[in-house]
Structure 1
Amino acid sequence: MLILDNITIVICIILVISALCSSLFDTFFKKMVDKEETDSAENLKPVSVVIISDNNSVELDNNLKYFLSQDYSAGYEIIVVVSRDEDGTADVLKTYNKYKNLYTTFVPETSRYMSRRKLAITLGVKAAKNDLILLTDAVCKPVSNHWIEGMSTKCRDGINLVIGYSNYSDDTGQFKTFYRLHKEYTYMYEAFKGFAYSTYGNNLLFKKADFMSGRGFQGNLKYVRGEYDFLVNKYSKFGSAAIAISKDVMLVEDKPSKKAWNNKNTFYFETRKHLQRSFRHRQIFNMDVLGLYLCFILVIFSVIYSVLSARFVILPFSFMALVVPFISRIICAKRVLNRFNANVSLWKVIPFELALPFSNFRFAIKYILSDKYEYISHKS
């Protein structure tokens, strides 16, 4: 005999609600539309591409040709700013002397008590001849020769920041690729909805005039990293940031070393303390994770309770609460993975989503236990 009392009904309703919430709170459930922009040649503006190289002679030699072969009728210049050269970067740059639109500059070795990467960006922006600045790193390369065009056409009236996507190369581990996609997608969706918070990638367009009038990185120059985060957080206003997610405007970043991967994610815990709208941003991720874990926990307890109390009506609702979020998240992830050319197997999506908070917790512990002087350049 099936037991259908108030307790059974309440539990079934809770399971249905949890299944819906887990699906709706999913980061990949949210959709972004990339409106295709087409400008005539006379409306295009010249662009200055600033590339930061930090002991990246090999990567620069492999990737620079992709920047120099861009198809952009309005004209562009490439400015390579070398923040550190202990591996022969200067010698690599000499082999590109034939390119008339390539300029190089070096951060002085005597520059101390400030972030060398932020100083490198500042030098690059000041040296730029054009108002539109496209910023990236030497470890990245465009996937097409329309990267500059695709990014610059997004910068229309009322837009002063364009956030593009950058992916890891295919030889990168799948969890790192998924971790990056999940974070970048969250950041870009916030910008799409009008509240640009930050960016996880290295594909950013902004205006020199804004940077100079806002005194660049003033107020956070001492923090070693977070250069892209501070740019987006400081210079974006409500509705002033656009996203560029078409495949032509994507960058591919070389596989990060273990040290680079750990540093990037550990340093963020220092950076986010100095960003505006940080609490609001974290709640979006927390709702996603909480919805997923709460749903699975409710399923486990409801199955145990239904068996022990002989309330077997609960079992099909428990099954539904498990399957619906699973299928929904897989479908949404497939759409996003295909859109961003992310090399991640679909069967790993749910395990990776469950692993995200543990990965963040590991980076948080590393940050808590570390010497906080590691995150600032002023050691006095």
Structure 2
Amino acid sequence: MARRGNSGMFLRMMMRAALVRKGSAMAALLAVVVAASVATAMLNIYVDMQSKLQKEFRNYGANIIIVGRDGGSLPEDALGTVDKTLAGRGTAVPFSYAVAKSANEKPVVVAGTDFARVKQLNRWWSVAVWPEKPMSALVGARAMENLSRDGAPFSLTFNGKALQISPAGTLNTGADEDSRVYLSLPDFTAWAGLQPSTIEVGANGTAAEVEAIREQLVADLPAAEVKPVRQIVEAEGRVLGKARAALLASAIVIIVTAILCVVATLTAWVMEQRKNFAIMKALGASERIITGFFAAEAAALGVVGAIAGFVVGLGVAAWIARANFQAAITPRFSVLPMVLVGSVALALISALLPIGLLRRVQPATILRGE
């Protein structure tokens, strides 16, 4: 009962103090709200941008390449092992290659692959029509000019074995793929007798998460070489790194300004209320109680400011995204705990100097008016 009564008195004192100094309380609260709003907006933009950039980079193809050692084929269970390691965190596409000869004895690179998986991994490929029938192929734009200008079936020979191929559609990438002919993996294997020698992997996640997946694949596939596609991984890291640095710098400037505002406000309030604190000490209140009272007030200020700032920050983030990127932004409620903890920490840090002043209050000196 005594503890419950003390808690009630403590809450009444906090409410009374806030009502008595409405102006100071509102000024301090506004500073915390501004800091929480900025933190919410920046975190929300960064987290949302990180998620969208990761998806965008995945559209540009693989970020991990797995090849057989010394140019050989991969183990038969390699694709299943990769799928198990990824566990839904990306897409793996097998490729097998052969250098065939056309009817006019010109060399042509022919690849066997899984078209369903390719559609998921290489969304940036410009494809007219995807192959659906047996012995139909996806032919690169440059290869099509040499093999079948009118789209008619053509013949390729590998190791003395000829294959009649019907072009289903053309492929335009502006890269080496334009010079290749792509067959379904079963058709290719039946014709060339070669197993997949390469698996291209588009792993989802941050640069650190992708590297962790790569290391796991190294451990799971000792007979293969697992290499990162540096251009994709490093480009993603650079973009996110620059964005993080810019947002962090802006947030730090505003949060430091907010801390200074809260410190100034709380210090001014302590100086105004020295006599009341002196009376509390004279009546037997310990420094621990007075410090706890003041710290609890600061923490409550941080909680209220965090909640209000979070709501405002979501609106600010949506406005920034719309005004600067012409895109909608998804509210990320996962940042609320960080904003809440940060706001309370900001308020408590700001209270350190005023608490130090409180401890130096001498009841006898203050009550004598000195």
- TM category (shorter chain) comes to under 0.3
What TM-score comes out, normalization by structure 2 length?
0.28
> Which of 1 and 2 has higher RCO (CA within 8 Å, sep 6+)?
2
Structure showing greater radius of gyration is 2
Higher fraction of helix: 2
Report which of the two has the higher share of strand: 2
